[in-house]
Amino acid sequence: MAHLTPFRRLLKLFHPEGIPSPGTKLYNKISKTGIFQRNYDLLAQDILRHCKEGNCLDVGMGPGWLLIKLHKQSPALHLHGIDISPSMVEKAKTNVRTAGLAGIIDLKTGDASHIPYGDGSFDAVVSTGSIHHWKEPVRALNEIHRVLKHGGYALVYDVLSDTPQSVLNEAAREFGRLRMLLLWLHAFEEPFYSRQTLEMLPEKSLFKQGSTHFAGVLCCLAMKKET
């Protein structure tokens, strides 16, 4: 939190780390809409450029849509997901079951600072729209580092507080300017990181370094556990 503005520090202090019930029901409904589903497609494609097989964990998986997309695009992946909200985990289980993937995708209650898996369990760990909720982001990155295999990738996606205009213009062409305006307003009231602040987080963690790129409107902080 050291590099956030005072306003965003205050937002982060009072912002919940997970979405409690009944908010999970609303979020699940919103996440079914076209703009969310298209973004899940883009994220799945970006993730598969780094990891097409092996074990993959989604931290803060929400309703589980990204895991479902990943399975459809790469059935060779062994997929797992955790979320701090028990009610969200139940929503994800329902969505996974409806998709015919019960018993194929493993879902648990857990949070980024206490990942309920052993050391070196995963070839890739991903997280979408979650890092700005984490109260202890460096501790969470260290946990992700712990459960990664050597040579594995951590891919952490989120909206930025200072998304470049070129990225917003491209998203507006695809999704419409009204939706992008709503996204900008959302970025103002949420404790999202700036790109520079996001890029500084790995330096304090066991990853030591990372890089950023965009997948649609979301910025990806990519980190590799060196061998």
| Structure token digits, residue 114 | 């206490």
Question: What are the sequence ranges of the domains in the chain?
Answer: 6-224
Q: Is the per-residue pLDDT at 66 higher than 60? A: yes
Q: Is the per-residue pLDDT at 107 higher than 60? A: yes
Q: Is the per-residue pLDDT at 183 higher than 80? A: no
The domain defined by 6-224 carries CATH number 2.30.130.10? no
- Give the pLDDT band (50/70/90) at residue 225: very high
Could you tell me what percentage of the chain is helix, strand and coil, using 3-state DSSP and rounding each to the nearest 5? 45, 20, 35
Tell me which residue of 130, 184, 174, 117 sits closest to 18, measured CA to CA.
130
Average pLDDT over residues 97-125: 97
Measure CA of the first residue to CA of the last residue in the chain; give whole Å. 29
Contact 127, 58 (CB under 8 A): yes
| Structure token digits, residue 87 | 């009610």
pLDDT: is 189 or 194 the higher one? 194
The pLDDT, as a whole number, for residue 7 is 38
Out of 10-14, 33-37, 194-198, pick the least confident. 10-14
The pLDDT, as a whole number, for residue 133 is 87
Question: Angle at which helices 177-189 and 165-175 pack, to 10 degrees?
Answer: 130
Out of 13-22, 53-62, 74-83, pick the least confident. 13-22
The pLDDT, as a whole number, for residue 131 is 94
- pTM attached to this predicted model: 0.86
Q: Are strands 211-215 and 218-224 parallel, antiparallel or unpaired?
A: antiparallel
The pLDDT, as a whole number, for residue 185 is 45
The 10 Å Cβ neighbour count of residue 3 is 13
Average pLDDT over residues 8-23: 53
The pLDDT, as a whole number, for residue 11 is 36
The pLDDT, as a whole number, for residue 73 is 96
Out of 8-12, 13-17, 86-90, 102-106, pick the least confident. 8-12
